[in-house]
Amino acid sequence: MAEIEIETRGRIALLTLNRPGRRNALGDAAIAAIDRFFDRPDPAIRAVVLRAAGGHFCAGLDLQEQYERNRGPVEFMRMCQNWHRAFDRMQFGAIPVIAALKGAVVGGGLEIAAATHVRVAEPSTFFALPEGQRGVFTGGGATVRVARIITAARMIDMMIAARSYDVKRGFDLGLVHEIVGEGEAEARAIAIAEAAAEHYDVTNFAILTGIARISDMSTTDGLFAESLLAGMVMTNPDLRPSLEKFFAGKAPRLEPKAE
Ligand code: 1HE
């Protein structure tokens, strides 16, 4: 059984972390499979759902594999770079990735979740960075991706004070975007993926690659980059029928919604 299972349903790919007996801990093979998938995704795939088998989303780095391999510093650094590359491809690959979270989202599990674009979570979800307690460190991108969501100061506190956050706290901190009932995250993630698959490619490209990159830029560079992206998106010839639909009052109405 593959540790990462890939199933295609029309325009949606379902990526399943499929090693529930080890709480979906990620070893080299799993990271390589994720990297391969996002390196050259099938052009027919327009959105991805990242889900997990069993009761937990992901327990992070496969500590057993690390213990057995006993990697040296350079080998471990290279391994971290493999994680960074795979998760960068996911974050900046221009395909929306919707995560269905439940149970433990810890260590490297939080690192992979932080590279997804929309995070839907069940009440059982909890977040932690237990590396401090285990005498190790983050290496799958948390210092960049998690710190940017919750702030660097809070990430330091999270690790030093060994905090874990429940789903509600995760929502307040931006780790979760929507809380659903137990057992409902996957269906909701698929529904969001289906809707996002309807967007124009160029629009998703701008949203997914532009916003995160622009937050790394100075104000002047960011505004310039935004105008470039907007110039590309707003001159998409396919946009005209969509605007005509809006003028004709046929576009879906925006409704205020409590989420
Ligand atoms: C594992 C792993 C793992 C479980 N690597 N085997 N991550 C951590 O420190 C999290 C470590 N895991 C846990 O704290 C707990 O397993 C959970 C809270 C996630 C779930 O608890 P529970 O009670 O449901 O399961 P369990 O009994 O602890 O684990 C079930 C089995 O999975 C058990 O093996 P078994 O042979 O005794 O059945 C565990 O050993 C195994 N297992 N987690 C390997 N992570 C690029 S650097 C990234 C930095 C990191 O991610 S460091 C890791 C942080």
pLDDT band at 258 (very low <50, low <70, confident <90, very high): low
What does each C-alpha distance from 241 to 79, 95, 247 come to in angstroms?
47, 23, 10
- The CA-based angle 205-12-85, given to 5 degrees, is 55
Res 153: pLDDT: 98
The CA R_g of the chain, rounded to the nearest whole Å, is 19
pLDDT of 114 over the 80 cut: yes
Tokens, residue 29: 């093979």
Residue bearing the CA closest to ligand 1, atom 25:
23
Residue 58 CA to ligand 1 center (angstroms) comes to 8
Averaged over 22-44, what is the pLDDT? 96
Per-residue pLDDT tens over the stretch 240-249:
888 899 999 9
Per-residue pLDDT tens over the stretch 177-215:
999 999 999 999 999 999 999 999 999 999 999 999 999
Averaged over 36-63, what is the pLDDT? 96
Mean pLDDT of the chain: 96
- Domains annotated for the chain, with CATH where assigned, are 4-196 (3.90.226.10), 201-247 (1.10.12)
pLDDT of 104 over the 70 cut: yes
Least confident stretch, 2-16, 140-154, 164-178, 243-257:
243-257
Residue 107 CA to ligand 1 center (angstroms) comes to 10
Task: Give me the DSSP letters along 102-160.
Answer: -SEEETHHHHHHHTSSEEEE-TT-EEE-THHHHT----SSTTTHHHHHH-HHHHHHHHH
Between residues 132 and 14, the one the model is more confident about? 14
Taking Cα atoms as reference points, which of 212, 238, 235, 210 lies closest to residue 225? 210
Residue bearing the CA closest to ligand 1, atom 43:
59
pLDDT of 259 over the 70 cut: no
Res 187: pLDDT: 98
Taking Cα atoms as reference points, which of 95, 115, 99, 106 lies closest to residue 177? 99
pLDDT of 252 over the 90 cut: no
Residue 93 CA to ligand 1 center (angstroms) comes to 29
Burial class (CB in 10 A: 0-12, 13-18, 19+), 215: exposed
What does the alpha-carbon distance between residue 190 and residue 253 come to, in Å, rounded to a whole number?
Answer: 22
Res 208: pLDDT: 95
- Among residues 3, 122, 131, 186, which one is catalytic? 131
What does each C-alpha distance from 150 to 107, 134, 142, 169, 237 come to in angstroms?
15, 22, 10, 11, 39
Check pocket membership of 130 for ligand 1, CB cut-off 6 A: yes
What does the alpha-carbon distance between residue 255 and residue 259 come to, in Å, rounded to a whole number?
Answer: 12
Res 253: pLDDT: 86
Averaged over 138-143, what is the pLDDT? 98
Check pocket membership of 141 for ligand 1, CB cut-off 6 A: no
Averaged over 140-168, what is the pLDDT? 97
Averaged over 83-99, what is the pLDDT? 97
pLDDT of 167 over the 70 cut: yes
Taking Cα atoms as reference points, which of 9, 6, 4, 11 lies closest to residue 198? 11
pLDDT of 55 over the 90 cut: yes
**Do the Cβ atoms of 87 and 31 come closer than 8 Å?**
no
**Do the Cβ atoms of 56 and 24 come closer than 8 Å?**
yes
Per-residue pLDDT tens over the stretch 131-140:
998 899 999 9
Q: Fill in the amino acid letter for 235.
A: T
